[in-house]
Amino acid sequence: MAILITGGTGFIGSFLAKELFTSTNEELILFDYIINEKRIKSLKDDPRISLIKGDVSNRTFLHSQLEKLTDFSTIYHFGSLMPPLTESELTDAFNINIQGTFNVLEFARLHNISQVVYSSSGAIYGPGVDLPVTEQSFRDPWTMYGVGKVCSEVLGSFYHRRKGVKFTSIRFPALIGPGRTGKGMTIFANNIIQYPAQGEKAICNVEEDIAVPLIYIKDATKFLASLHKREDIPEQTYNIDGVWIRANELAKYVQNEISDAIIEYDPDPELTFMLRSWSMMKGESNAIFDDLGYSPSYSPEEMVKDFILEVKTNPDYKI
């Protein structure tokens, strides 16, 4: 049997591949539009790893490539267009993030693949969501990125209820970790750690008291790997709140580890405003702990320490 990861050489996909490589004996098929070999350098030559370059929005190609392969136990669907491109390239956002999810679910149905795990986001909630946020809160996204997440969840629930594909969507806050790139709203939190760890100055583009909910990539991927072949998942959607940390708190943790770290602030007023009104995931949901036993093992200080060590000792995480 094999595990398919779409977006398999992206940030989350590559960390998950490393986790599943050790926690299972299955083959891993990493499907990605752009293959980032650096991220999977330690795995890529192993016979248990296959790389497929392709576009999840192209159903004919996706299905024909995967049909040639072995049986799949689980699909982790992470291939996605990311913000800010989702907000300017609406057709691509629709094709990749909505049609792409449909294509993956159809493949699962046609080939009796019993499990699809999806990475959703707090972006499914709009700025007007009532607090505290729970899994039952009204999904009313204001971004095309969030629209793609809601549509994917609704499609997944349909396949779960009516078509025999077990679907689980985990709504993550910001995930941070070594080597994350991109231009998303929360990338400042990553940059505050990443650049000093590689001996460079970090420029933080939000005001220093801005806080965002964070999860360390290693906690997230360990948890995602624990869902593989898991039968007792009562719900289809789960929120993970993350730990709210201010930019200046993160900077302090970094400076405790790297005394000469330079972290400067050059706030973008619009981004700061958007993040101040961000209610996403100000939650009070315990379902992820109660139903699925999610239990992060890194405190914020331990996360920063581990992140810095990884960047310093593994050149593949340099950006």
Ligand X SMILES: NC(=O)c1ccc[n+]([C@@H]2O[C@H](COP(=O)([O-])OP(=O)(O)OC[C@H]3O[C@@H](n4cnc5c(N)ncnc54)[C@H](O)[C@@H]3O)[C@@H](O)[C@H]2O)c1
Which residue ranges make up the site for ligand X (CB under 6 A)?
A: 6-7, 9-13, 32-34, 55-57, 78-82, 96, 100, 119, 121, 172, 174-175, 182
Q: What is the DSSP string of 57-104?
A: T-HHHHHHHHHTS--EEEEEE-----TTHHHH-HHHHHIIIIIHHHHH
In angstroms, what is the minimal distance from the CB of 83 to ligand X? 8
Dist CA 116 CA 221 (whole Å):
15
CB–CB of 238/169 below 8 Å? yes
**Residue burial 255-280, b: 16+ Cβ < 10 Å; e: rest:** eebbeebebebebeeebbeebeebbb
In angstroms, what is the minimal distance from the CB of 254 to ligand X? 19
Question: Would strands 211-216 and 243-246 be described as parallel, antiparallel, or unpaired?
Answer: antiparallel
Q: Which helix (H) or strand (E) holds 47?
A: none
Dist CA 70 CA 296 (whole Å):
33
In angstroms, what is the minimal distance from the CB of 219 to ligand X? 13
Q: Which is nearer to ligand X, 119 or 239 (CB)?
A: 119
In angstroms, what is the minimal distance from the CB of 9 to ligand X? 5
In angstroms, what is the minimal distance from the CB of 51 to ligand X? 12
Q: Which is nearer to ligand X, 49 or 199 (CB)?
A: 49
Token pair recorded at residue 267: 């706030």
Using alpha carbons, list the distances in angstroms from residue 196 to 11, 12, 20.
20, 22, 30
Residue nearest to ligand X (CB): 10
Q: Which is nearer to ligand X, 56 or 193 (CB)?
A: 56
In three-state secondary structure terms, 2 is: strand
Q: In the structure, how many helices (H) and strands (E) does the chain have?
A: 12, 12
Dist CA 219 CA 110 (whole Å):
33
In angstroms, what is the minimal distance from the CB of 146 to ligand X? 10
In angstroms, what is the minimal distance from the CB of 241 to ligand X? 13
